[in-house]
Amino acid sequence: MFVDKVKIYVKGGDGGNGMVAYRREKYIPDGGPAGGDGGKGADVVFEVDEGLRTLMDFRYQKHFKADRGENGRPKNQHGKSRDDMVVKVPPGTTIIDEETEKIIADLTEHGQRAVIAHGGRGGRGNSRFASPSNPAPEIAENGQPGQERNLVLELKVLADVGLVGFPSVGKSTLLSVVSAARPKIADYHFTTLTPNLGVVETDDQRSFVMADLPGLIEGAHSGVGLGHQFLRHIERTRVIVHVIDMSGLEGRDPYEDYVTINEELEQYNMRLTERPQIVVANKMDLPTSEENLQAFREKVEDSVEIFPISAVTKKGLNPLLRSIVDKVETTPEFPLYEEEQIEQRVVYKFQQKEAPFEISRDDDGAYVIAGHEIETMFKMTNFDRHDSVRRFARKMRHMGIDQALRDRGAKDGDTVRILSHEFEFVE
């Protein structure tokens, strides 16, 4: 099965917890704190594997959770950081953040990597919190939570040339006679249900990759027919080969077909019209084809390069293939995305700083504190240690949460909730 779009969930590994420990050695009565830091959690890294063709594997595994870092140890020993979790994807995979719809990475070359979800840093041990005023702290941090993301993966096949046209115009037959690809061929519409790729070699030993895409029909750009599912695969091609059934035996006018398909390409993505296009007049072995070709030439005039061929009898293929490979060699790659769109690039621009916390009231009257900064701080606090709890309370006061609760009308004994945990407000 060919799968070219999936939704998955990834999570970087949490950092390891820091440790509260002290030196306990003979003849050293006041050893001091010796709790080590936790190790860093593993990153989730996507890597291109040229042996993969589809996103089929992601139909069965949709959750990817990296390993957490090792906890800190006594004697100031740091916990072990985890190795990256590597997820293999096929060439041509675009990774999009589902929530923000931003493009995180566009992976096209074998071995290319991108960090998709960062692991959390390890929590600090108590030796990090020692000071002249507190030489024996009972404070240690939990590890920072790893980054979580819901992603959309889109596969846009890597081909130099894309065959487009109405159903049953002979695209699959053309691909089968010029390459070793063996797509399904039959005399009914939409025989081709998935894109087929084949390597084509010309008579002068030059080669290129050709993709046979499912037939387009009018309205494909807005979701009509099968073509809309696969229009994205045309985006990476350098040259578009427009195959037209010149015989007109199915009652369609070749010129109207030509205009309709070009309108669909323009409606889908304006940049598709920038690519060089070669028109292939197929089925020239049938009786009415010569007459229709003459009428077609008169309508398009000299603005279009037309190659009359018969894919069945293999007539006229060599001049066509030589022209295609010439176009491929002289046409640069078309970048799919502007540099600013891809998250890996650094773009400096003003952004409103996110509020560190927000306060709301729940249905049961509890005050709910939310926000990335306060929630991360909460998760990194070890509530089994009294000093850690006091440190968290000081941070809340410093952030202005205590006063904000009073301003909202909180009184002594009211319930305050952070994530799924509750505690009482104390004046």
Annotated binding site: 165-172, 190-194, 212-215, 282-285, 310-312
**Buried/exposed 312-327: b ≥16 CB within 10 Å, e otherwise:** eeeebbeebbebbbeb
The answer to whether 135 touches 32, Cβ cutoff 8 Å, is yes
Annotated binding site for GTP: 165-172, 190-194, 212-215, 282-285, 310-312
Any bridge partners for residue 7, and if so which?
A: 152
Angstrom distances, CA of residue 220 to CA of 155, 224, 264: 19, 5, 7
The answer to whether 140 touches 17, Cβ cutoff 8 Å, is yes
- H helices of 221-347, in order, are 227-230, 254-268, 289-300, 317-330
Phi, psi of 131 (to 5 degrees): -150, 165
Task: Tell me how many degrees the CA angle 150-151-152 measures, rounded to the nearest 5.
Answer: 140
Angle between helices 317-330 and 171-178 (to 10 degrees): 90
Annotated binding site for Mg(2+): 172, 192
Cα–Cα distance measured from residue 191 to residue 140, given in angstroms and rounded to the nearest whole number:
64
Cα–Cα distance measured from residue 285 to residue 207, given in angstroms and rounded to the nearest whole number:
27
Q: Is residue 153 exposed (0-12), middle (13-18) or buried (19+ Cβ within 10 Å)?
A: buried
